[in-house]
Amino acid sequence: MTHAISSKVITVLGATGSIGVSTLDVVARHPDRFHIFALTANRNTEKLFDQCQQFRPKYAVMVDESAAEKLQGLLRNAGSETEVLSGTGALESVSADAAVDYVMAAIVGAAGLLPTLAAAKAGKRVLLANKEALVMSGRLFMDAVHEQGAELLPIDSEHNAIFQCMPSSTKNGQVVNNLAGVERILLTASGGPFRTWELSQLQNVTPEQAVAHPNWAMGRKISVDSATLMNKGLEVIEACWLFSVSPEAIEVVVHPQSTIHSMVSYNDGSVLAQMGNPDMRTPIAYGLGWPERLVSGVEPLDIFATARLDFERPDLARFPCLQLAYEAHAAGGYATIALNAANEIAVQAFLDQSIGFMDIPQLIEAVMQSAESGTPNQLEDIIIQDEDSRQAASFWLKKKKTH
């Protein structure tokens, strides 16, 4: 006897980015299981229009108002019934709507915080691909998850791998990881495009070189974060909140093949690893289907072609951003907000060729030193620290330009 599967209703935040596109690819493979409620984007009108035509969401949200007007015109001419909304408030609205079951949080950077937090406060299954939400508001965010009975499932390939390597269950409607016997989390990193470069070579890195990731197809900002290892630093902070562990329990392991996505070491000597081809559709499908597994469209791993697995310790002299992230988490929430804000400004300045690659950690460290000590308890304080840190970063850039 077969039971009918109830279709889950999904909002995709950041639908036109790489995670959003991969999410919709998985959703399209399971039309009986998933229905799209809302798709959101910043200003990529053409891609969002195509997605609306295919998935027919109730709402399309564009943060940029002029882009929203353009999209509205395109959809009206195409006879679409999708309603177009604009602005950041609309992002929160389609994340918290009573009709929604799952929210894919895939907006890059601090811009993703408020809608992701809205989804948690509304008790949704939050598929978390936005690490900044926890970096900026870890305690506040996790409190909202627990108080409102939200299901928080990590989508970053590394955190999803850790989740898969730990026994998990639901308790009072929430996802619970069993940490019994866990000694260490081994968080893998590809090492990025400059893994083998000398420190002197890093002074002359170009944006084009930095965004050319050897294994993953990602957006420009996250590709630069991978090149500086800041992405791994943000993931360390995220893992501390997701799995209720201290930074000392997390060891970053450079694994250039990106075949093992992370490992968990247990007190009996066992090390469990999650392996697979580097394709984000695997963790996305796991989050959408949990506790079941769904077909994702990813090619099975050819273990014979893989042939070898290499592991190295990260070089903190060449990649100081990783050390800065550990220091920020130890200092508290104000410092991690400053770290994230300064990094966003620094990466954009590097992509604009205003600063060099090795200026990125210098800017971040300077801004971190200006942050308040401790951890904010109010959303308003988080937003103020974020704004103050961005101003401090902009001031640092102006000062550097005049010297």
Known binding-site residues for 1-deoxy-D-xylulose 5-phosphate equal: 131, 157-158, 190, 213, 226, 231-232, 235
- Per-position DSSP letters for 147-202, written without gaps between them: HHT-EEEE-SHHHHHHHHHS-EEEETTEEEE--TTEEEEEEEE---TTTT--GGGG
d(CA 368, CA 347) in angstroms, rounded, equals: 16
Tell me the binding residues. Answer: 16-19, 43-44, 130-132, 156-158, 190, 213, 219, 226, 231-232, 235
Q: Using CB atoms within 10 Å of the CB of residue 373, give its burial: 0 to 12 exposed, 13 to 18 middle, 19+ buried.
A: exposed
d(CA 35, CA 367) in angstroms, rounded, equals: 43
Tell me the binding residues for Mn(2+). Answer: 156, 158, 235
d(CA 373, CA 368) in angstroms, rounded, equals: 10
Residue that the structure tokens 């562990």 belong to: 245
Q: Which two tokens stand for residue 293?
A: 């597994």
Residue that the structure tokens 């273990």 belong to: 303
The torsion defined by the Cα of 397, 400, 401 and 402, in degrees rounded to 10, comes to: 130
- Per-position DSSP letters for 60-114, written without gaps between them: EEESSHHHHHHHHHHHHHTT--PEEEESHHHHHHHHH-TT-SEEEE---SGGGHH
d(CA 124, CA 118) in angstroms, rounded, equals: 9
Pairing of strands 260-266, 271-275: antiparallel
Tell me the binding residues for NADPH. Answer: 16-19, 43-44, 130, 132, 219
Q: Which two tokens stand for residue 76?
A: 């009206």
d(CA 218, CA 296) in angstroms, rounded, equals: 18
d(CA 346, CA 210) in angstroms, rounded, equals: 14
Q: Using CB atoms within 10 Å of the CB of residue 400, give its burial: 0 to 12 exposed, 13 to 18 middle, 19+ buried.
A: middle
d(CA 293, CA 354) in angstroms, rounded, equals: 46
Q: Look up residue 17 and give its DSSP letter.
A: S
d(CA 88, CA 86) in angstroms, rounded, equals: 7
d(CA 14, CA 96) in angstroms, rounded, equals: 16
